Amino acid sequence: MKIVGFKPNIIPKPFQAEGIGFLESSPYAVLGDDMGLGKTLQALGAILNVRPQAALVIVPSYLRGNWENEVEKLTEFKLKTKSKRFTEYYCYETSLIISTYSNLKHIEELFDLADWVVADEAHYLKNVDSIRGGLFHEYIYEKMPRRLTLMTGTPVENRTIEWYSLFKLINYEYDNPRADTFMELFPNQWKFNYHFSNPVKFTVNGRTVTKFKGSRNVQDLKAIQRGRYLRRVAEDVLDLPPISIKDVLINYSFDGNLEEEWDDFVSTNKSNDSSAKALSALAKAPYTAKYVADLHDEVGHPIIVFTDHIESGEAIAAKLECPFISGATPSKKRSEMAVQFQESKYKYLVATIGSFSTGFTLTKAADAVFNDESWVPGRNRQARKRIYRIGQEKKCLIHRIQGSHQDLKISKMLEEKEKETLAVL
């Protein structure tokens, strides 16, 4: 497939051409391709084929620079306007406008202009009641653009019920009987939760609390997805070298108080910000740094190191004398570091999972070392995909640093949670 408006050397792969066709024929839809399969290319190809009057792309702040680079690398779009709130390109009488979720409250007029809205990393919208999610839902419901494309490789990061917000968005489609049926059956999050997940009741401070775990009525979920959700995984459509996971066992121990707190954390599944989890990650940091340095001596190529906590990330980076990326790192700086990593300017790069697990290509590395993992399986999966994507030519290995029976227990629990989330994708 040759796209008029792409640079002459840009020819979509067959599965990408299929995705472009899907977006053209599905006005309100979710493109859920696995990370690294070129969702940006597919969205741009569909926009160039359809040529709406204005296409508005909303992205996380740290990915705005990536999108601008991709537009300039892939297409004939020319820069028209650039401000703090948005960047506008122009080609074939089509405006392509890129802005961010953090700017939503300032750009309502852009939704008035757009007849095609694209939301990248759309799992950012999973909470209908958040300020970000609420504004986006309000704009789509009120402005009713002709087309809405939600792009995310992890529409469900942690629990089945996260699907609701995205399904509700694509069911705002005007004059679609299927949309009317969805809204009648699931007018709110609770109705959806009770139908597609298992309610578990427990008591906290005398109050009964309901949490939802696992999934049920999966065939009903598939019926909602049919024709409006497309997902392909890297292993099925790319000729990639194999990827495997290696658990690296080290010896260290907790003191008695931390041991008890950790076991309480694991048994109650509290939060990925648990102090016990963070202290465990920090305790492993010196061992991880030594392991990474030895690994680099063996493999000779750059290595990316992930952790879920700032303190452990700072400690590892200090030992390795390398840059550290966290949520506090400016978006532009993150993009620059990713490019420099790809140019082999760093032997090591350490990052928190939340700050560097989406939107970046790190295929210069074939080894990713996890000092510790996020309690949200989707984020770990995204981080692994930074090295396992289009352009990777080497066999990939994920190294998980395991230092206690607690680490092994949480890894097993994460694997079980990941199986659950993948089942509904």
Q: What is the pLDDT of residue 2?
A: 85
pLDDT of 277 > 60? The answer is yes
pLDDT tens digits, residue range 25-38? 999 999 999 888 99
Q: Would you place residue 144 in the very low, low, confident or very high pLDDT band (cuts 50, 70, 90)? A: very high
Residues 211 and 264 in one domain: no
Choose the weakest-confidence range: 66-70, 235-239, 243-247. 235-239
What's the Cα-to-Cα distance from 406 to each of 249, 270, 280, 394, 415, rounded to whole Å?
Answer: 12, 15, 9, 32, 14
Higher pLDDT, 423 or 122: 122
Which pLDDT does position 93 carry in this prediction?
87
Give buried/exposed letters for 157-194 (b at 16+ CB in 10 A, else e).
bbbbbbbbbbbbbbbbbeeeebbeebeeebeebeebbb
CA dist., res. 46 & res. 23, Å (int): 6
Cα angle 364, 57, 1; round to 5: 65
pLDDT for the residue numbered 6: 93
From residue 316, how far is each of 24, 105, 195 by CA, in Å?
46, 38, 44
Structural domain containing residue 32: 14-236
Strand, helix or coil for residue 210: strand
User: Do both 224 and 255 map to the same domain?
Assistant: no
Phi-psi region of 175 (alpha: psi -120 to 50; beta: other; left: phi over 0): left
Nearest Cα neighbor of 145 from 46, 30, 22, 54 is 54
245 and 190 part of one domain? no
* pLDDT of res. 271: 47
Amino acid at 215: S
At 387, the amino acid letter reads I
Given a contact cutoff of 8 angstroms between Cβ atoms, the answer to whether 332 and 269 are in contact is: no
Task: Report the CATH number that the domain containing residue 263 is assigned in CATH.
Answer: 3.40.50.300
Can you read off the two tokens belonging to residue 7? Answer: 């640079």
User: With 80 as the cut, is the pLDDT of residue 285 above it?
Assistant: yes
Q: Is the pTM above the cut of 0.75?
A: yes
237 pLDDT band, cuts 50/70/90, is confident
* Parallel/antiparallel/unpaired status of strands 229-230 and 243-249: unpaired
Assess whether 220 and 132 both reside in one domain. Answer: yes
Q: Check pLDDT > 80 for residue 418.
A: no
- Does residue 262 share a domain with residue 215? no
Decide if 2 is inside a domain. Answer: no
Convert the pLDDT of each residue in 314-372 to its tens digit.
Answer: 999 999 999 999 999 998 899 899 999 999 999 999 999 989 877 789 999 999 999 99
**Residue 263 pLDDT > 60:** no
- CATH number for the domain harbouring residue 107: 3.40.50.10810
Q: Percent of the chain scored above 90 by pLDDT?
A: 60
3-state secondary structure string across 46-97: HHHHHCCCEEEEEECHHHHHHHHHHHHHHECCEEEEECCCCEEEEECCEEEE
Residue 7 falls inside a structural domain = no
Return the closest-CA partner of residue 244 out of 425, 400, 389.
400
Q: Are residues 267 and 343 in the same domain?
A: yes
Nearest residue to 303 (alpha-carbon basis) of 346, 336, 356, 353: 346
218 and 247 share one domain: no
- Per-residue pLDDT tens over the stretch 394-403: 999 999 998 7
**pLDDT band for position 273 (50/70/90)?**
very low
Residue 8 lies in a domain: no
Residue 20: inside a domain: yes
Lowest-pLDDT range of 60-69, 275-284, 336-345: 275-284
Same domain as 271, residue 213: no
